[in-house]
Amino acid sequence: MTSTASQIVGAPITISGAIKTFPSARGPVEALGRVELEIEPGSFVCLVGPSGCGKSTLLKVIAGLTEPTAGSVRFGSGAPPRTAMVFQDHGLFPWMTLRDNVAFGLEATGVDAPTRRASAEQLLGQLGLADFAMRYPHELSGGMRQRGAIARALLTHPQVLLMDEPFSALDAQSKLVLQDEIQRLWGEDRQTVLYVTHDIEEAVILGDRVLVMSGRPGRIIQDITVDLPRPRDLRDRSSEEVRTKTWSIWKGIEAQVRRNLHVPN
């Protein structure tokens, strides 16, 4: 992780008319409904919306894990960029040490074992995990495992980093620490980040932009710019801009959330 904030390595993303439909016993289910979106290289974009609105599906379409039923995803260079994805569940292999889990992403690229292990140890040191490099996942806390998953994604130096509610299963204190860590690491090596979260305040604190999706079929219904200076810290949460934007986003999706929960307005 040697890049600086002035060296943007992220790739631009253009999504044109993306529709995703899944078959079901009761007929086709339209998860995404003609999504139109442009993301600048090196930007940190957060995605919020009611449950089931297609946020995770959109990430998988961008990652190439599933094809859109219609429409397209294009990248500035034409060729698919290096992409990494971090999920809510850390996905570490239980039979590997933390170091070898983190180094695993480099194995597929042909990096020799000593080099990839040394690189993994260096990044684990940056994340405060140097003393746990030879531990197995079951010996680590939830926050440590999730830091390991982030390290594994970052070690391949992706141009696009896709994060699907990576901190939602963590306790509040761990979540705050990891929010700071991901901002710091992103500032050093400016990938294009698309970050899915149910936590509206988290989206405002982390993102340059917050995209708000409608209920299914998911569409982008709001595109909100966040002008807070970087680097950001915990004190930003009490700022008027954070409170105002958080409340505005909530009011935009409240009705759909209440319908999902069968709670009257």
* Spatial separation of the C-alpha atoms in residues 59 and 74, rounded to whole Å: 14
Q: Identify which has the larger pLDDT, 5 or 221.
A: 221
Report residue 6's pLDDT band, with 50, 70 and 90 as the boundaries.
very low
The DSSP output letter for 3 is -
Report residue 203's pLDDT band, with 50, 70 and 90 as the boundaries.
very high
Mind listing the domains of the chain with CATH numbers?
1-82+162-265 (3.40.50.300), 87-156 (no CATH)
Report residue 263's pLDDT band, with 50, 70 and 90 as the boundaries.
low
- Quick: pLDDT tens for 72-129: 999 886 777 888 988 877 788 999 999 999 998 888 788 888 899 999 999 898 888 8
Report residue 28's pLDDT band, with 50, 70 and 90 as the boundaries.
confident
Long-range interactions of 2-9: CB distance < 8 A, separation 24+: 2/188, 2/189, 3/188, 3/189, 3/190, 4/188, 5/187, 5/188, 5/190, 7/190, 8/41, 8/42, 8/190, 9/42, 9/157, 9/159, 9/189, 9/190, 9/191
As given in the structure block, the two tokens for residue 170 are: 């963590």
Q: Across the chain, what does the average pLDDT equal?
A: 85
Region 179-202: mean pLDDT is 88
Place of tokens 């040697």: 2
* Spatial separation of the C-alpha atoms in residues 83 and 10, rounded to whole Å: 10
As given in the structure block, the two tokens for residue 132 are: 């746990």
The DSSP output letter for 86 is E
